[in-house]
Amino acid sequence: MPNLNTAEKNFLSQITQLVEENISNEQFGVSELADAVGMSRSNLLRKIKKITDLSASQFIRNVRLKYATELLQEGSYTVSEVSYKVGFGSPSYFIKCFRELYGYPPGEMRMHEEPEEQEEQEVENEPELQAPTPKKKFPVLLISLFAIIAIAAVLYVLLQPKSGNSKKVKSIAVLPFLNDSNDTTNVYIINGLMEATLNNLQQIKDLRVISRTSVEQYRDNPKSSPEIAKELNATYLIEGSGQKIGDQILLNIQLIEAKTDKHLWSQQYRRDTEDIFTLQADVAKSIAEQIEAIVTPEEIQRIEKAPTNNLVAYDLFLKGYDLLGKPTEENLKAAIPYFKQAIQHDEEFARSYAAIAIAFYLLDQNKTDKEFADSINYYADQALFHNSKLPQSLTAKALFYMEHSEYELALPYLEKALEISPNSDVVLIFLVELYVNYLPNTEKYLEYALKGLEIDIVATYDSSAASYSYMHISNAFIQSGFVDEAEKYIDISLEYLPENLYSQYVKAYIDYAKNQDLNQLNKSLLATFEKDKTRLDVLQEVAKSYYYLRDFETAAVYYKAFVEAREMYNLEIYRSENGKIGVTFDKVGEQGLSDKYFEQYRTWAENDPSIYSNFSLAFYNSYKGNTDKAIDYLKAFTKQDNFHYWTILFTPIDPMMDNLRKNPEYKKVFREIEDKFNANHIRVKKSLQEKGLL
């Protein structure tokens, strides 16, 4: 890699050597490499991505595959033997990865070796005094012609417009299992089997698995398979029913091609209750096999891992989990004792520890005084201690950090949980919340919001939830500069819930992005505010629109009402707006208030952990007349990525920047910011297209 500096080359050489030293150990993954190189997992991921443009797991896999080519060239081992020697637990998965990287299967390795060595040997074996025989050109030309034809054929296929059926998306919905018994006390067991099937399938990256919240609407719903498929955008449906009779579980599973209502596979299981975990794993693996999903050895290992060896503990856990799935305060408080009893029967039961932590977090979620913070931490740590690779353990620890507003510490736990369970709607919800509200990152916000929409289809049964889901998608799009897409999704949001005021003012800003009309923005925001004058979020948006119009007298009226309400209710909201509030009060002669809010703005900006700290400090210093410092802060901001579109749209008209715009360096620096945003927009668009999200 000629563009790498010496330090980067040494780093790659070091981690490559570490992978090669553990080449046959299939458990040696990203976490193990991070420990070996003495880095945090998140720092390792970022560094490898920056240097190689590969994920860390891809890098490790490629090192294994390169080593495999050397073994294959030796010719001493079979393909299966090589796969195990380089750390692949499954020869079929090894063959798949090898083909993806090199374009041909490992069995054809010898056919693709360079022939120079053989030609050199032939020359060496010629009689010493014999003149070299000229090589015949015709066969070479013929081979070249065949190569050109072959390449042309490949290009023709690759460049043909792809039809919608070129790759069948393996989207699957596990419908609520039915209780075949008249004994309703066993319903929690059947629900547990459904939940286990769903959780196991969620861990398979090659599938798109619809969330439980989306399928729950069909528990007592007579709709046909094609109707459900259309509403959930699912290719396959899983129907199940069962009962517990004595010490045996009877379970019937059907796999249905949703669009045609064709039954592709069905199986009746009769297992002893002590085999319940094997049953759950067999169901998930059979479903994946029937729809030809790629299941990696790591995924199989996780699916086959029993959560506990104690059936009494598991039975208690299922009773609690059934209540946790309907998280009212009453149900959450009733669920926790079941989980604690389960732990008494199995002190290593990670799922129960994690479930308690999650239940406590949900109980605390909307409370100002956090009652259960210590309990969340204790049970999350216990869950991680007993199973550090369990998605629920990782999520529980992330929730502890979110409880304490330590969002940067929560992030790696959620990212790891999503890596293990790529279809987890719960993890995606929390990641979207982090990336939009606490650790702003427009690319991640958009990607996870789109992924969440794919698996959490709420529109058919909850118009309010649907409206907010589509509003999030729209907001994510506009923050990344996708104006047309943002407009499309905000219109859908308002179709589901026209009175959604969040969507109304997001639409006002999308319209501004299209026409740059501040008067129209102000008019739309006022109309929204008239519908509910208790909404402080809309109130400050109206004030802001007058601020941008430089109608400071009117802006001051609205801002004064806003800050009085904020202080009356002791709300920590919209601290980033204190700079605009300070300017407004300064312009209308309220110097005391101006100084107060400017000081709050400066303190907030200096302590802001997000990427916008330098940007905010540039605004502050600009208004205070420190233009050289403001330029320095603005230059520092140019090193950031994934900042939102409003940075580009509103900076040129913000009164706080009036002084800075007189600085001769301003235009150059701001153009650099614009160029970086535009380049990032193009990259995000390409990335989303490659992931099938756009």
In angstroms, the Cα distances linking 248 to 144, 270, 304 are 67, 7, 20
Do 293 and 181 belong to one domain?
yes
Q: Domain boundary residue among 304, 334, 361?
A: 304
Is 467 a member of any domain? no
The tokens for 145 are: 């012609």
Is 558 a member of any domain? no
Of 384, 392, 396, which Cα lies nearest the Cα of 360?
396
Do 267 and 250 belong to one domain?
yes
Do 325 and 374 belong to one domain?
yes
Is 332 a member of any domain? yes
**CA dist., res. 62 & res. 616, Å (int):** 42
In angstroms, the Cα distances linking 447 to 42, 169, 687, 690 are 19, 18, 9, 12
CATH of the domain at 266: 3.40.50.10610
Instruction: Supply the pLDDT for residue 458.
Output: 57
Give every CB contact of residue 228 below 8 A, 6+ residues apart in sequence: 173, 175, 218, 221, 234, 237, 258
Residues of the chain below pLDDT 50: 1-2, 115-167, 459-460
Do 86 and 109 belong to one domain?
yes
Q: Are 647 and 670 in contact (CB under 8 A)?
A: no
Give every CB contact of residue 595 below 8 A, 6+ residues apart in sequence: 582
Do 341 and 284 belong to one domain?
no
Instruction: Supply the pLDDT for residue 86.
Output: 87
Task: Pinpoint the alpha helices (H) of 292-406.
Answer: 297-304, 311-324, 329-345, 350-364, 373-386, 391-403
Instruction: Supply the pLDDT for residue 131.
Output: 33
Do 645 and 674 belong to one domain?
yes
Is 669 a member of any domain? yes
Is 577 a member of any domain? no
Do 351 and 234 belong to one domain?
no
Instruction: Give kind and range of the element (H or E) at residue 267.
Output: strand 262-272
Do 295 and 345 belong to one domain?
no
| Range of the structural domain that residue 667 is part of | 609-679
Do 666 and 646 belong to one domain?
yes
**CA dist., res. 604 & res. 247, Å (int):** 62
The tokens for 157 are: 């296929």
The tokens for 392 are: 């629920």
Q: Domain boundary residue among 359, 383, 413?
A: 413
DSSP state of 163: P
User: Tokens 């403001």 sit at which residue?
Assistant: 630
Is 185 a member of any domain? yes
Is 36 a member of any domain? yes
What is the tally of structural domains in the chain? Answer: 4
Give the predicted TM-score (pTM) of the model. 0.66
Of 315, 294, 352, which Cα lies nearest the Cα of 96?
294
Give bridge partners of residue 8 from the DSSP assignment.
Answer: none
Instruction: Give kind and range of the element (H or E) at residue 164.
Output: none
CATH of the domain at 397: 1.25.40.10
Instruction: Supply the pLDDT for residue 50.
Output: 84
Task: Pinpoint the alpha helices (H) of 434-500.
Answer: 442-455, 463-479, 483-496
SS3 366: coil
DSSP state of 78: -
Model pLDDT for residues 626-646, shown as the tens digit of each residue: 999 999 999 999 999 889 999
Is 489 a member of any domain? no
User: Tokens 């919240």 sit at which residue?
Assistant: 213
Do 299 and 324 belong to one domain?
no
**DSSP strand pairing (236-245 vs 171-174):** parallel
Do 338 and 369 belong to one domain?
yes
**CA dist., res. 426 & res. 431, Å (int):** 9
The tokens for 583 are: 């300017």
User: Tokens 């009733």 sit at which residue?
Assistant: 334
In angstroms, the Cα distances linking 224 to 138, 216, 228, 251 are 65, 15, 6, 22
Do 21 and 104 belong to one domain?
yes
Q: Domain boundary residue among 260, 277, 304?
A: 304
